[in-house]
Structure 1
Amino acid sequence: MLVVLEGILWTIRFFFGACIFSFLTVVIDRLPRGENLVRGRSHCTGCGRELTAWELIPCVSFLCLGGKCRGCGERIPLRCFWTELTGGAAFIGCVTRYGCGRSGVISPRGAVIFAYLGILLVVALIDWDTQMIYDRFHIMILILAVFDFLLYPERGIVTRLIGALIISVPMLILALVIPGAFGGGDIKLMAASGLLLGTASTVCAMFIGIVTGGGYAAVMLAGKKLEKKDQFAFGPFLALGLAAAVFWGNQIAAWYLHFL
């Protein structure tokens, strides 16, 4: 019986995270178009039909509908499904890594990190679509960094300040020397995230971002889908590195230093 109740609790946690990230798909879709984020019910972008409650169950509705609108048959973007799935996995990951706290659902620090992962997702997908990172997201990360410092003072202010500068300053210098090397949004993202994550995790995140972003560019160049002078959104790869660093940054850094 206890195993069943535990399984139900983890299922609730998964769908809670999936629901939050499902709303973020609305933010990702509406914010670049200047639409209101809270007013107006969810609707099919093809036929305009308002979606019913049964069509808004994270992950489940997409699978039951076969990835298509029930009204017009237009395909639902696959990334909506993956975003919801990522939200559920992220929430479970935060509970596993940071505990469930007194609430029995998630600890305060786990909630901060989950919110940060949600911001990273929005930043990554909006940047992918528009090559733009809104300053409001940097401000949100800075606020989360303050909360994290209050909840986790063991990660001292010195390592946080170094983390804010160790990557962002070289990026800024490189952007000034080579126009277009990095966007201002990328630089501010690493500065704000460094204040949250500290030195080791920020360096690890940048390394992952460079490797994955460089790999993507190499594949696109080889397939002649990019020219050498073309620019592409680097924010998604930085966000991927930062998300990985949240969970494994210190371990990866320690593993690397072991070989030095």
Structure 2
Amino acid sequence: MNKKHKFDLHYFLNDASFENWAKGLNNNDVSYWNSWIQNNPEHLETFHNAKSIITGINFNQDYPSNIDVDHALSKVLDKIDIDDSSTKKMKKVRSLNTVLYSTAAAVLLILISYSSITYFNEHSTTVHKTNYGEIIDLKLPDGTSVVLNGNSEISYDNDNPRLLNLKGEAYFKVKPIPSTNAKFWVITNDLKVEVLGTQFHVNTRKQKTNVVLDEGSIHLEFKNGEVAKMIPGEMVSFSNESKKLLHKRVNIETPYALWRG
């Protein structure tokens, strides 16, 4: 019997295999969770938040307590004969220790802050934007080519550049990875486009999403629960207003992607 889980932060943090994935401790767990997030991109934010918590920086602080300091100081005072002036000096030493502990704590805080900044920079999101009338050619880390039309934006987590979000319009030429068959995902407000290696065009303007396929095959998953599989020369259109799918044949040489030049 399949049990449905609520994939929240608590779920990931209490899963031993997920912890292994986050720390890279078990190859089977690493493979499983890499595949899982590819197939469940809607949980990406919570997924990486949990990873950040698990792999966060841990400091083993082993500072002497105030009781330990006082005890050590008392033993010293018992062994040596000191006058009042010497006692005053020892009090100054104790005050100095307090200052040193405070300074050490401040330095530690700086180190924690610096390490946290470094960690989150390494696990940040890359964003590419265009202005009106601007068209740019991009090469993603996996070798996929993207032509981004004007007033558009793509973004992806640096840990997973084959899972990206699109606002506006873009043309994709996805590079396949035969060794792993890693999927490539494009996510819009309406749907998810799942591909292995292909060329296609996505437009999210005018309160709808249009997808035109040039080569290969792709699988679409819409937020309303509907699915569609495409072959070259087809267009799928989904309207936010009507919540209906339009599936038809088109001429891929027509203006769907002529803006690419």
Question: Could you say which structure has the larger radius of gyration?
Answer: 2
Task: Identify which of structures 1 and 2 has the higher relative contact order when contacts are C-alpha pairs closer than 8 Å and 6+ apart.
Answer: 1
- In the superposition, the TM-score normalised over structure 1's length comes to 0.23
Q: Give 1 or 2: higher strand fraction.
A: 2
Higher helix share: 1
Q: What's the TM-score once normalised by structure 2's chain length?
A: 0.23
